[in-house]
Structure 1
Amino acid sequence: MKLAILADIHGNRQAFSACLAAARARGVERMVLLGDFVGYGADPEWVVDTVMELVEGGALAVQGNHDHAVGTPAESMNDDAQAAMQWTRGRLDVAQRRFLAGLPLTLADDDRLYVHAEASAPSRWRYVRDSADAARSIEATPALVGFCGHIHQPALYSMSAAAKMTRFVPAADLAVPLLPGRHWLAVLGSVGQPRDGNPAAAFAIYDTEQRSISYCRVPYDVEAAAERIRANGLPPWLADRLAMGR
């Protein structure tokens, strides 16, 4: 089965639509959504409704820190994120809020674990910045393959039986076999707000039969997404950064 793994959509309708279309065109059979459906972007209602429809159709979804912050304000967010979250709260209805609040922090499926941040303490929302962070997450679960987002920068980590770590960033659209005898952690880039210098939306495809992962980049109408942010009076930097991938 081909799984599309998408993280950090952040209310970006244009980017999410482009990624969903690209995934379906590549024969994906199931969607897996790793949280942060809201925050920053100007279309949280549409994104949450779309996620709800996907979950009703069999998709898997976990909660991100911005989704959690809809009901429980987070002190750790910067000023722009706080402003966007306050605006977002005013846009979501009761059903949308209830859906976000009810999402699990982790989901296990066969030999895979899905989480927004990292597996050792999902509710602490820690970033996987390096091999030490990845090792902590890998060691916290018996899953052979873990998937997470949160940092908005793609990377692929593995741990050998001797606890030796490797890290690299795969080229786009290159299938990487996840070799047996190692545990893996795939850190997804962001659909709605990439921060690796590439403004194209990011997601991944995991082939459960081939045990391979392909990191994908999808161009989308960045200016339309940015204009939506500006038109709704959200902090200008949230619009400007989309074109820079920062």
Structure 2
Amino acid sequence: MRLAFFADLHANRQAFEACLKRLRKIGFDRAVVLGDLVGYGADPSWTVDTVQRLVDDGGVAVLGNHDEAALRGGTGHMHAQARAAIEWTHHQLDDAQRAFLAGLPLTVEDEDRLYVHANAWAPGNWGYITGARAATQSLAATRQRVTFCGHMHEPALYHTRPGGLDAGHFTPRSDFPIPLAPTLRWLAIPGSVGQPRDGNPAACCGWMDTERNTLTCLRVPYDHEAASARILRAGLPPGFAARLGEGR
């Protein structure tokens, strides 16, 4: 089976369409969406509807912190600009779209894999995998061999032996299949579709071949200028538009 991974879409239609096109050309059997469908970007309705179609076709999606916030219309824990975008997003979604978000689980276990937006030790508290110690803590909190997370917006791959101390870490190369050795436990962050933050504006996504036990991360160029223009036309904070071209 081929699994396609999308994380942190953030209502960026241009980036999500580019990733879908690339992965459909490769071919996949099931989509896995690792949360934060909305927030920052100008196309929340289209994004939610597209993810719902993927789920209807047998895919999986989990709840992200921006999705949760959009249901309430904002949260005091967010900075002012993010809160403004979430409040705008809340009013863009209809009842059915909000109901879809409200029904998303925090985690999904799929054979030897765990899908979660933030981490496995406290999925609803939205703590970040900021390094090897946090990755090890997350791996220790689940029995699954491979954990797939979003939330960090930068591609990363961690690995450790069962019962091991701090996990090893490296940044995966685009289009390079990585064997997920069965003697190790893995935590994979495919990076953000809609808002990469590693200095590279190209959208991030990835796919796993479960028979060959390989993971391939991808960087997909897209029309970030068009996505930025849509943000500005929507009246969202200009900083959200500017950062797309910077990969920040």
Secondary structure in 2 matching 1:97: helix
Tell me the residue number matched to 2:184.
Answer: 182
What is the alpha-carbon distance in structure 2 between the residues aligned to residue 9 and residue 157 of structure 1? 22
Pairing 1:199–2:201 present: yes
Match of 1:103 in 2: 104
5+ long unaligned stretches in structure 1:
none
Matches within 5 A, 1:100-139: 100-139=101-140
The one-letter amino acid paired with 1:213 is L
1:231 is aligned to 233
SS in 1 for 2:92: coil
Q: CA offset at residue 71 of structure 1?
A: 1.9
Q: RMSD value over aligned CA atoms?
A: 0.8
Deviations 1:136-192 (A, max 9, x none): 110000000000010101100011135042100011000000111111000120000
Q: Which moved more, 1:163-172 or 1:147-156?
A: 163-172
**Greater shift after overlay, 153-162 or 125-134?**
153-162
2:13 aligns with 13
Kindly state the Cα deviation for residue 79 of structure 1 after the two structures are TM-superposed: 1.4
- 1:66 maps to which residue? 66
Structure-1-length-normalised TM-score: 0.98
Mapped to 1, the partners of 2:227 and 2:41 lie a distance apart of 8
State how far apart, in whole Å, the 1-side matches of 2:77 and 2:212 are.
Answer: 40
CA offsets per residue over residues 62-119 of structure 1, 9 Å max, x none? Answer: 0000000012332221111111001101100000001101100000000000000001
Cα distance in 1, alignment partners of residues 195 and 135 from structure 2: 22
| 1:19–1:214 CA distance, 2 compared to 1 (3 A) | same
- What residue in structure 2 maps to residue 23 of structure 1? 23
Distance 1:59 1:28 in 2: 10
Counterparts of 2:24 and 2:145, CA distance in 1: 26
Identity across aligned pairs (percent)?
Answer: 54
Letter of the 1:209 counterpart: E
**Match of 1:161?**
162
Report the 3-state secondary structure (helix = DSSP H, G, I; strand = E; otherwise coil) of the residue aligned with 1:90: helix
Give the AA of the match of 1:46.
W
SS in 1 for 2:181: coil
Secondary structure in 2 aligned to 1:157?
A: strand
- 5+ residue gaps, structure 2, are none
TM-score by length of 2: 0.98
